[in-house]
A and B are shown apart, each in its own frame.
Chain A
Amino acid sequence: MTPLAGWWQAQSQGRRRAITGYAFISPWLIGLLAFTLFPILMVFFLGFTRYGVFDSPQWVGLANYGRIFTDDRLFRISLLNTLYYVGISVPLHITVGFLLALGLNAKIKGVTLFRTLFYVPSIVPQVAGVLLFVWLFQPQIGLVNWMLDLLGLRGPNWLGRPEWAKPAIIIMSLWGVGGGMIIYLAGLQSIPQHLYEAAQIDGANEWSQFWAVTVPMMTPTIFFNLVMGMINSFQVFTTAYIATGGGPMNATLFYMLYLYNSGFQDFKMGYASALAWILFALVLLLTLLIFRSSASWVYYESGGER
C-alpha cells in the first residue's frame, strides 16, 4: 500500500485528477468497448459473411447486400411497412402529445386528474398493453368495434386484415402518448411568463402569441421528441410480434421483425447483420438530416446555461 501511496503523492494534481476521472468512468468505458464499439465493428464484419451460428463465419463479400437490394422481397416489404409506421406514428405522437399538453397547460380545474388519466396508459407494460389491444380489437365482441357500432359504423377485423393491421398497431402505440405529453407539458411550463406579457403589450392575440412565443419556445422539445421518436419507431417490434407475428400477409412485418426472423428463426446471422447495418445507416442518415435541418427551425435561447 505504501509504494502505491507514495506514487500517488508524487503525481501532479492534474495527473491525479485525470487518473481519478478515468477510474470513475471506467465501468462505462469498459461497457462502451465491450457492448457498443466492439459489436458495431463486429456487425460490420459479419455483414460480409455467411454465418449459421453452428458453423464458423464464411467470407462472402458483398453477397448479402447484393441479395438484400436486388432479390429480397421481404426486405422491401418490411422497409416500406416500417417507413409507413414511422411516417404516420411519429408526427401523430408529436401532434397529439403536444395538443394534450396545451390543453392541460390552460388554467382550468381538474388538471391533475386529466394529467394522471393521460399519463397512466403510457406506463402499462408493453406486453400487457398489446394483449389488451388484441382483446379490444377482437372483431366480434371487442370493445372497439362495439363503440364503432354505436356510431353506426361496421368495425373491420382490425388485426386480421392487411389494410387495417398497420393502423391498428399505430393506434396501440398512440395509447402511450402520455409519456411525450408530460415532456411537452414540462416544456410549456418552463416558458417564461414575461414573453407572453411582452407579446400582449405588442397587441398580440392568443393565436399570434401561440405562433410567436409558444411554438418557437417549444421547438427544442419537439426536436428532441422527433429524433427519439424516429429512432425508436424504426425499431418497432414488440407490438407487432405479439399481436400479429408480422401478418396478415406480411402487413405488419416491420424491419426489426424481419431482422429477428433472419437471425433467430432462420439462423442467418451474417444476413441479419447486413440488415442491421443497413438500418443503422438509414437511421443515422435521417438523424443527421434532422439535426442539419434543426438550424432553420429549432430555436435556442442564446447564452442559456445548459
Chain B
Amino acid sequence: MTAKPVSYTPSQQLQTQSWFGRKSVQQTIKKAFLYIVLSVAAALLAIPLFWMLSTSLKSLQQQAAWPPVWIPHPLAWRNYPDAYNFLPLGRYTANTLLIVAVTMVGTFFSCPIVAYAFARIRFPGREALFVVLIATIMLPQAVRLIPTYLMFDWLGWLNTYLPLTVPAFFGSPFYIFLLRQYFRTFPEDLADAARVDGANELGILLRIFLPMTGPALAVVAIFSFQSHWNDFFGPLIYLNREEMRTLALGLYYFKAYQDTTNWGQLMAAASTMTVPVLILFALFQRHFIQGVALTGIKG
C-alpha cells in the first residue's frame, strides 16, 4: 500500500515531486473507485422506489413485458382510480390521518412537559426514574402485547381507535428522551432567572423553553407521524371492522384479496401510502436527517 519512493529519486526536490505526482494519481483512482461503489449502491437502493412508481403507471401488458419497461408508455393513470374502487383507500387514508392527528396532539400534550421535568426540575428520584425511562425504550414490545390487548378488551376498546391513540397522551419514552436532551442544552440560568422573576415552571416551559425548541419539536412531529402512518401491528390486532381500517392494513388486504395480481394497481396502492411521506421528506429534509442523527446520540 505505502511504497516508499525514496529509492527511485536521488534528489530531494525530485523526490517530493514524484511522491506528490504518485499521490495524486492514487487519489484519483481512489476517488473514481469510491464514485463507482457509491453509484452502484445508490442505484440498488433507488431502483426499487422508482420501480414502485413506474409500475403503478403500467397497464397489465406492460407489467409483464420482458425485458421490463422502465418508463411506461402510455401512462396508465387508471390504476389509481381502479385501486381506490377495489378497496376504499380514500376512506382508509382519512382513518389513518385521524389517528395520526390525535396521537400528535397526545404526544405534544405529554412529552414536552415530562421532558422538561427530567431536564430542569430537581426532584428526588429523578435520576432513577430516568434510567427506567431509558430502559423502557429498549423494552421489547412483544412482552406487553398480550396483556395490553386483554386490558383494552376488558375496557371494551377493541374495534375502536382508542388503543391506538390513548397511549400517546401518556408520553412516549423516546420522544421524552429526545426533548430532554434538547432542553439540557439550554443554559441553566435561563430557567433560574425566570424563577427569580416569579414565573412558575409551567410558564417557563411554555413561554421560554418551547419557543426555542422548534427543531426538536419538528423532529418529534415527524417521527410521530411516521410511526402512526406506518403502524401495521396495532391496527392488525385492534381493528377488525372493514370500514375502520388504516392504510397500512388496507394495503395488506389489497394483496390478500387480489386473485390475479394486478401489480400496477397494487403499486398504485403502495404509492398512495408512500408519496405523502416522500413529499414530507422533500419539505422537511433537514429535520428528518437531524432527527435520525439525534437518535444515535449516546444518553
CB distance from A111 to the nearest CB of B (A): 9
Task: Check if A7 is an interface residue, CB within 8 A of chain B.
Answer: no
Task: Check if A60 is an interface residue, CB within 8 A of chain B.
Answer: no
A279 adjacent to B68 (CB under 8 Å) = no
Task: Check if A84 is an interface residue, CB within 8 A of chain B.
Answer: no
Given contacts A31-B167, A128-B251, contact A306 B110 (CB under 8 A): no
A127 adjacent to B147 (CB under 8 Å) = no
Expressed in whole angstroms, the Cα–Cα distance for A225 and B293 within the complex equals 12
Task: Check if A175 is an interface residue, CB within 8 A of chain B.
Answer: yes
Closest to A227 in B: B138
Closest to A232 in B: B140
In the complex, what residues of A have CB within 8 A of residue B140's CB? 231, 234-235, 279-280, 283
A242 adjacent to B252 (CB under 8 Å) = yes
In the complex, identify which listed stretch (A65-73, A85-93, A182-190) lies at the interface while the others stay far away.
A182-190
Expressed in whole angstroms, the Cα–Cα distance for A25 and B254 within the complex equals 42
In the complex, identify which listed stretch (B8-16, B73-81, B129-137, B212-220) lies at the interface while the others stay far away.
B129-137
* Contact with B281, one of A42, A123, A132, A300 (Cβ below 8 angstroms): A123
* Contact with A225, one of B141, B148, B271, B296 (Cβ below 8 angstroms): B296
In the complex, what residues of B have CB within 8 A of residue A177's CB? 45
Closest to A182 in B: B292
Q: What number of residue pairs across chains A and B have CB atoms under 8 A from each other?
A: 255
In the complex, what residues of B have CB within 8 A of residue A61's CB? none
B138 adjacent to A228 (CB under 8 Å) = yes
CB distance from A60 to the nearest CB of B (A): 16
CB distance from A118 to the nearest CB of B (A): 6
Expressed in whole angstroms, the Cα–Cα distance for A279 and B212 within the complex equals 42
Q: How large is the interface on A (under 10, 10 to 19, 20 to 34, 35 or more residues)?
A: 35 or more
* Contact with A183, one of B37, B138, B144, B295 (Cβ below 8 angstroms): B295
A40 adjacent to B252 (CB under 8 Å) = no
Given contacts A25-B129, A132-B52, contact A127 B248 (CB under 8 A): yes
B142 adjacent to A235 (CB under 8 Å) = yes
Expressed in whole angstroms, the Cα–Cα distance for A171 and B292 within the complex equals 22
* Contact with A120, one of B176, B269, B278 (Cβ below 8 angstroms): B278
Task: Check if A210 is an interface residue, CB within 8 A of chain B.
Answer: no
CB distance from A254 to the nearest CB of B (A): 11
Task: Check if A224 is an interface residue, CB within 8 A of chain B.
Answer: yes
A132 adjacent to B35 (CB under 8 Å) = no
A186 adjacent to B267 (CB under 8 Å) = no
B233 adjacent to A276 (CB under 8 Å) = no
CB distance from A13 to the nearest CB of B (A): 10
The A-contacting residues of B in range 105-140, CB under 8 angstroms, are: 109-110, 113-114, 116-118, 121-124, 126, 129, 132-133, 136, 138-140
Task: Other than A30-B170, A135-B266, A136-B51, give 5 A-B pairs with Cβ distance below 8 A.
Answer: A39-B144, A103-B34, A119-B288, A131-B266, A255-B142
